[in-house]
Amino acid sequence: MKNLFFVIVMFLSFAGIAQSSLNDYNMAIIPARFDFQKEDNQHRINSTIKAFLQQKGFEVYLSSDVLPEGFIDYNCNKLFIGVKEKSNMFTTELQVEFKDCRDKVLYITDIGKSNEKNIAKSYSEALQATLKTFYKANYKYSGKTYFDEEADEKIKSRDVENVSQEVTKVIKSEKEVTYEKVGNPAKQENNQPFIKVVNKTNQKELVLYKTSTPNVYLLNYNGRNGIVISKDNVWYFEYNDGDKTTSEKLDIKL
């Protein structure tokens, strides 16, 4: 977690000019059924791709899986896997596509072919052949995070005026302040994308947006997007302030 915020700062600095690449992702979603399939996971194509990507270090799920909390809250931090298929009575050809949330193809494997007469074996051979060419992508996760984009997306999905009123209720103090959760924490964790905490000295509320990463929360504070993270069991609000990183210690229980 030590370098997490600095990665975010670098992303914010270059987001306007950097082009997204395969290396910017370590999560992926695979349809349970591709267009050319007549049933879910036909010929075990989908589950084979899932297992292959897991071996490469991806957190990956089929669309039919029970997805973990937070995984589908925001889509632009993950890859969408597709398969291009071309078959006739003599040959089966497959390619695996890796797309971003805007349907841009970031990488596509070479064509895998099979002349096997048995249909199931033919698909299996063609799939294995095309997956073997993935090494050409030179994939290595860059460590890129999407917390700021995720915060903006979540805030836009709610009533902007109400969110603004909730967040700007917080008064920044030069002294350390103490917060406690509002309401039933267990219920909020299960049913809400955010957690409210209150400054016990003045009863002002702070709204923390949950992310797919444990112990990392998003915060829009006085017009600034930042993160609330835990370091050695101490919570901090960190954000980019011009050319420097500002870190504010919080006494908070989550």
pLDDT digits (tens, 9 = 90+) for 73-122: 788 999 999 999 998 889 999 999 999 999 999 999 999 999 999 999 99
> Cβ(115)–Cβ(90) under 8 Å?
yes
Question: Between these two residues, 206 and 78, which has the higher pLDDT value?
Answer: 78
Predicted TM-score (pTM) of the model is: 0.59
Helix (H/G/I), strand (E/B), else coil: 51: helix
Question: Between these two residues, 187 and 114, which has the higher pLDDT value?
Answer: 114
In this structure, what token pair is assigned to residue 38?
Answer: 């007549």
**What is the reported pLDDT for 22?**
96
> Cβ(249)–Cβ(239) under 8 Å?
no
Other Cβ atoms closer than 10 A to 238: 20
24: Cβ contacts below 8 Å, ≥ 6 apart: 142, 144
Which domains does the chain possess? 22-137 (3.40.50), 147-250 (no CATH)
Residues 211-228 have pLDDT tens digits of 767 778 787 766 677 777
**What is the reported pLDDT for 243?**
66
Q: What angle do CA 191, 192, 196 make, to 5 degrees?
A: 130
